[in-house]
Amino acid sequence: MSAEADAAIALLNAEAVRIRAHRMLALGLDGQLPHFRVELSKLDAAADLVVATTREAYPTLAIPFHSRWRHFVVRGENRYDAIRQSQPDRFEQARTAFDLAIVSTILDAGAGSQWQYRDFASGESFASSEGLALASLAMFAHCAFSSDLNEPMRADAVVLEQLTTEQLMRGFQVSDSNPLVGIEGRCGLLRALGKHVAASPAVFARDDRPRPGGLFDHLRGLSRDGIIPAPLILSEILHHLGPIWPSRISLGGVALGDCWRHPAIVTMDATNNLVPLHKLSQWLTYSLIDPLQGAGLAVTDIEGLTGLAEYRNGGLFVDTGVLALRDESLAVEKHDIGSPLVVEWRALTVALLDQLAAVVRAKLGSTAAELPLAKVLEGGSWAAGRKIARARRADGSPPIKIASDGTVF
């Protein structure tokens, strides 16, 4: 393996995300970033909003981990429960949950401010992540991703790689009057997922025909005495699902996925200027913890993962003044996902979430063991970011405008 490939692999983990994000924050605190000022004096007010939001949603502080599964709950009813309970074998339950979590998470980039999904069971309409989750669950439950009508609750590689944009548009109720940002990009990701899973039977078809859920059997094989660390799950996702993402930056033949360039991050090796963030892969890792635990495995070192570099958490810091644009006119422009401004914002978000979590714990009288970052996110920072966005802007859009292709966040 080349030195460049070794350097690339060193960026495919949560520790690399955290280290470079905190380097960005240190530069910001020193006033050396081109786009944002960091005002840590305002972090306390941001934490107050997170604490209030957390107490409102979880009065007893019995907070679950941040994951995709939270979005399948409608008015207290867990829509996934019926599917899960229909399968008595716990390993097949896990494969099914992996199928759904992987497909649904890949589809969970920002929907835009105009799209909504009408849920026929309740008659209500849902936007954003909740709408995307319910739409993907409905397609999953109605055999949209299965190759066998007798086994509807699964996703098969052969179906995913042939999925059309028109099929996804129907499932997500997309029309001229109900546009979904990046619908082509989302469909392209699912086709790439199907193609890659089919071509990787050693990982995805150990105990079944090729399906994303086969990753469960691969991870179970890596566990030791029924224990698997969360950072290892992320590393395996980055290595084995990384090839599905659009090719943006590669190093030594290794695709780096959600990794971008920023001139402020200087190193003396081939990774100079590179900032790994891996948002959707970490979101997926958080979402696989529940089914792994349900199958009897213990997931450790969840704190080894980072916060998510997405616009609700990032928007919280901008809207509370923790982050301030040096040039306020840039707030009205739309920025490419790979622009230095957006990369800077996202990296600062990851590092500031670590700082925020410590302040929130202090205010709630909790320890890191009682209130890990995954619970601060759920409690939490993501919901507080959405709340303040809706208070500041009628459409609830983020304070920084992003040109999204549906494949990042």
DSSP string, 228-276: EEHHHHHHHHHHHTGGGS----EETTEE-SSEEE-TT---SSTTTTEEE
| Residue 128: per-residue pLDDT | 86
Closest CA to 299 of 397, 212, 374, 229: 229
Half-sphere exposure of 161 (CA within 13 A, CB side): 15
Tell me if 409 is assigned to some domain.
no
Report the greatest alpha carbon distance in the chain. 61
H or E stretch including 361? Answer: helix 340-364
Residues 6 or more apart whose CB falls under 8 angstroms from that of 206 comprise 214, 217, 218, 221
d(CA 143, CA 119): 17
d(CA 377, CA 5): 33
Rg of the chain over all Cα atoms, to the nearest angstrom: 20
What is the mean pLDDT for each group of 10 consecutive residues in the chain (409 residues)? 90 97 98 98 98 97 93 86 77 95 89 89 90 95 94 95 97 96 92 97 96 98 97 96 85 92 96 96 95 96 96 97 97 94 98 98 96 96 96 93 73
Six-digit token string for 209: 């025909």
Tell me if 363 is assigned to some domain.
yes
Tell me if 137 is assigned to some domain.
yes
Amino acid identity for residue 137 in this structure: L
d(CA 9, CA 15): 12
User: For tokens 């081109």, what's the residue?
Assistant: 34
| Residue 407: per-residue pLDDT | 67
Amino acid identity for residue 168 in this structure: L
Angle, helices 230-240/215-222, rounded to nearest 10 degrees: 130
Tell me if 92 is assigned to some domain.
yes
Task: Kindly report the pTM of this predicted structure.
Answer: 0.93
Integer angstrom CA distances of residue 247 from 73, 93, 192, 257, 261: 34, 33, 12, 7, 14
Domains of the chain: total: 1
List the beta bridge partners of residue 298: 227
d(CA 386, CA 379): 12
Six-digit token string for 136: 């993907």
Six-digit token string for 289: 């913890």
Backbone CA torsion sign across 352, 354, 360, 363: negative
Tell me if 408 is assigned to some domain.
no
Q: Provide the residue range defining the domain that includes 50.
A: 3-403
Tell me if 52 is assigned to some domain.
yes
Q: Is 243 exposed, middle or buried, given 0-12, 13-18 or 19+ CB atoms closer than 10 A? A: middle
Tell me if 153 is assigned to some domain.
yes
Does residue 252 come out as left (phi exceeding 0), alpha (psi in the -120 to 50 range) or beta? Answer: left
d(CA 253, CA 9): 10
| Residue 362: per-residue pLDDT | 98
Integer angstrom CA distances of residue 118 from 121, 130, 228: 9, 11, 38
